[in-house]
Amino acid sequence: MSLNKLALIRYRTIDNCLQNRFRKWTLDDLVEACAEAIYEYEGITAGVSKRTVQLDIQNMRSEKLGYVAPIVVVDKKFYTYGEKNYSITNTPLTKQDIGTLSEVVQLLKQFKGFSYFGELNEMVKRLEDKIQKQQHKGKSNISFETNPLLKGIDLIDPLHRAINNQQTLEINYQSFKAREAANFIFFPYHLKEYRNRWFLVGARKKDAANAILTLALDRIADFKILVTEPFVKNRQVNFDTFYNDVIGVSKNLNQEAVEIVFKIDRENAPYLLTKPLHATQRLLSQEKEYSLFTIKVVWNFELERELLGFGEQIQVISPGGLRRRLAKRLQEALQAYQTS
């Protein structure tokens, strides 16, 4: 049952009245109190009917809302709580509430990289404590992919603020291939996550007009905001659609998607049918020993890695360049195993 705002106001008003044992409450008294509360909070002057308050009391007594309020009538006229310290605000969580809150807590804890989620830490702790008290154990029925040792998570929030505030950065960055860190002026435009790893997308000052650069947050040694350096706005990329034809994060400005045709053996085809490699995936045919698929995506490192992850189960048919590239990498992998 969904509750509207007026119903909630009435329930809380009736609850407050019945907790006050220094006064005897008739039905007319409760109707008047509800009408006054609705006028105070919502400015509505239409009042409240006796029938509405009677239904409210009936709902509060029932299990529909989870209250099961012990509302009793004394001397066939006055309403009160049969339990001295009862209040609907002290109602125990239902099993469904506990299950839902447990999942919400686990979900919220995944976003600790952002400050506005960080501000929820105390709320999350209180929720966890409430759940612990209700169910006497901290068991969760859902798990998310996390990596507590991942570097760069602490940079998400300051970089996100820099993007929002259009602030120029001076970044000290060392890629895995570079022997030494490079220092350059950078205009941040977008944050991208892929497989629990975060990337900053933007442009260097020297080529901001014709190129974008993707930086892994775990390779940023440090950065600072350059207040005196004018920010060059992003006028090249619509990030709402830029990654629609990409597996991963690697894509150049003018890089176009290519159609990739591949086949996968009969046993593993169902995995791709239920979890496509990409939104563009289409089934071309189903043969006795294999299924033929196609996707249209940018050819990048992440695509190669995805396809190689299937090992001998998958075979790229076209384009020929990608087929030869993967064959070479597989041969090199075989040689590595043979020589070691």
pLDDT in tens, 47-77: 899 999 999 999 999 887 778 899 999 999 9
Is 157 in the same domain as 188?
A: yes
Let me know if residue 240 belongs to a domain: no
Predicted TM-score of the model (pTM): 0.60
Is 73 in the same domain as 112?
A: no
Domain with 83 in it: what CATH number?
1.10.10
DSSP string, 230-262: PP----S--TTTTTTT-SSS---TT---EEEEE
- Specify the pLDDT at position 66: 75
Domain with 215 in it: what CATH number?
2.30.30
Let me know if residue 148 belongs to a domain: no
Let me know if residue 244 belongs to a domain: no
**Worst-scoring range by mean pLDDT, 130-134, 149-153, 196-200, 239-243?**
130-134
Let me know if residue 313 belongs to a domain: yes
Let me know if residue 113 belongs to a domain: yes
- What are the Cα distances from residue 23, in Å, to 34, 231, 263? 16, 67, 79
Is 85 in the same domain as 99?
A: no
- Specify the pLDDT at position 253: 87
Is 76 in the same domain as 113?
A: no
What residues have CB less than 8 Å from 299, skipping those under 6 apart?
258, 260, 322
Which structural domain, as residue segments, surrounds residue 109? 95-135
- Specify the pLDDT at position 138: 47
pLDDT category at 285 given cuts 50, 70, 90 is very high
Q: In the predicted model, is pLDDT for residue 237 greater than 70?
A: yes
Is 219 in the same domain as 272?
A: no
- What are the Cα distances from residue 218, in Å, to 166, 179, 202, 311? 22, 16, 16, 28
Is 50 in the same domain as 18?
A: yes
**Worst-scoring range by mean pLDDT, 8-12, 208-212, 244-248, 250-254?**
208-212
Is 186 in the same domain as 214?
A: yes
Let me know if residue 290 belongs to a domain: yes
Is 190 in the same domain as 215?
A: yes
Let me know if residue 197 belongs to a domain: yes
Q: Based on C-alpha coordinates, what's the Rg of the chain? A: 31
pLDDT in tens, 167-207: 999 999 988 887 888 899 999 999 998 887 889 999 999 88
| 13, two tokens | 């008003």
Domain count, the chain: 4
- Specify the pLDDT at position 58: 93
pLDDT in tens, 244-261: 999 999 998 889 999 999
- Specify the pLDDT at position 1: 37
- Specify the pLDDT at position 170: 94
DSSP 176: S
Residues 129/105, Cβ–Cβ less than 8 Å: no
Is 320 in the same domain as 269?
A: yes
Q: In the predicted model, is pLDDT for residue 94 greater than 70?
A: no
